Structure 1
C-alpha cells in the first residue's frame, strides 16, 4: 500500500460573537484541520484505490483529536461536523472520495454523540483553491439550525500531485438560527436523523 507523505498541516479556528443581533451566552466556535499529502494515484488511472482508505485512518484520527483540542478539549462540546477534500489537478475526483471513511469515522469515533452521517464535499483545484465544507448536527441530520459551512483552503496547496484533506467541527448552531425545524434539545439520537 502507498505510504502517506504529509507535506503540511494547518488548523484554523473561528469564534463568532454575534452577527449583528444579540450576542449569545456562548460564542460559536468552529475549526478546520487540513493536511496536504502526496496523492499516490496522481497522473494516471488506477483501478484499485480503496485500500488507501485504511492507510488514511491514523491521519484522520490525529486530525480529529487536533480539532477537539483546538475547540477546548471536550469532545462532548462538539455539536457539528463535516469533511472535504481538494484534489490537485493531476488527480481525479474519486481520489477525494478516499477521505469519506477515514475522515468521517475518525470524528465519530472520538465524539460521544455522533450518529449522523458526516456531510462532505470535494473538488479538483490547484494551490489557493477554496472549499466550502458543509456542517450538520453531529447526532441528528434534521437539526436545521446546524446547517452551515466553513470555507477553507491553503495558499500553496494542493499542488498537482497532492490531496488537501479537511475535517471541520463546530460547537453549536448558527448564531441567530431561527427558521424552525427540529431543535438540538429535541434530538432523540436513535437513527442519526432525529
Structure 2
C-alpha cells in the first residue's frame, strides 16, 4: 500500500486589482493547492521518515502541474512561490519537514529549474487550521516586491491522522509594491539570492 493516501485536493485562486491605489489592468494573480492525505506516521514515533519523501515526490510534481493548469499559466509566467504543511494533532511537526524536498524540488522542476530556494512553513493543527505560506521570487530571494504570504486552509483537514501539503505560486509582484530593494530587472540569477 502506498504511503500517500489522498483524501482530497483543494485549489484556491486569487486576483488582486488594487489595495487602495490605482487599479491594475492586469491583476496580481495568486494560487495555492492543498493535498489532504493520511499521515502514515500519525500516533507513533518513527525514526526513519525518509520513505515518505520518496512517496511524496511524484505528488509534488503533479500538484505543481495541476496548480499551473488551474492558474492558466505557463511555467515562465510564475514569478514567486512557496510551500507549507499542516500536520494533524496525532502527528508531529517533523512530518511536515518531509515536504521540503518533495514539494520544493518538484515545484522547481515543474517551473523549469528555478534558482531560489522555495520558502516554507509548517505546523501542527486541527481541522480547519489555516497557515500563511511565505512566497518570494523564484530566481532571486532578495527581490522585495515579491515578498508575500498566501493564507491557505482546508475546512475539514487535517484530521488528527492526516497531513495537508501545500504549494503556492504567484504571477507578478505585490499589487502596489514600492518598498525598494532589488528589482527584477537587476536579477543576476547566479545564486538564487540576487
Query: Which residue of the partner structure matches residue 137 of structure 1?
Result: 137
Q: Matches of 2:45 and 2:139 in 1, distance apart?
A: 37
Cα separation, 2, equivalents of 1:132 and 1:57 = 23
Specify the alignment match of 2:78 in structure 1. Answer: 78
- The offset of 1:41, in angstroms, is 0.3
Which stretch shifts more, 18-27 or 97-106? 18-27
* Structure-2 separation of matches of 1:120 and 1:172: 19
Q: How far is the alpha carbon of 1:114 from its aligned partner? A: 1.3
Alignment gaps of 5+ in structure 2: none
CA RMSD of aligned residues (A): 1.1
With structure 2 as the length reference, what TM-score do the two structures score? 0.97
Q: 2:150 is matched with which residue?
A: 150
Match of 1:10?
10
3-state SS of 2:13 partner: strand
Q: Which runs of 5+ in 1 are unaligned?
A: none
SS in 1 for 2:50: coil
Figure out how many residues of one structure are paired with residues of the other and give that number: 194
4+ aligned runs moved over 4 Å, structure 1 = none
Match of residue 160 from structure 1 = 160
Q: For 1:1-194, what aligned pairs fall within 5 Å after superposition?
A: 2-112=2-112, 114-194=114-194
Indicate how the Cα distance of structure 1 residues 51 and 113 shifts in structure 2: closer, same or farther if over 3 A, else same: closer
User: How far apart in 2 are the matches of 1:2 and 1:59?
Assistant: 12
CA distance in 2, matches of 1:97, 1:151: 19
Quick check: 1:113–1:138 contact (8 Å CA) kept in 2?
no
**How far apart are 1:71 and its partner, in Å?**
1.7
* C-alpha deviation, 1:2, in angstroms: 4.9
SS in 2 for 1:181: coil
Displacement after TM superposition at 1:24 (Å): 2.3
**For residues 22 and 81 of structure 2, what CA distance do their matches in structure 1 show?**
25
Q: Distance in 1 between matches of 2:71 and 2:78?
A: 8
Q: Is the partner of 1:9 in helix, strand or coil?
A: strand
d(CA) in 2 for partners of 1:44 and 1:35?
22
* Displacement of 1:153: 0.2
- CA offsets per residue over residues 98-145 of structure 1, 9 Å max, x none? 101010011100113610010000010010101000000000000011
Q: TM-score, normalised by structure 1?
A: 0.97
Q: Deviations over 1:22-68 (max 9, x none)?
A: 12232110000000000000001001111210110111001000111
SS in 1 for 2:168: strand
**Whole-Å separation in 1 of the counterparts to 2:153 and 2:180:** 32
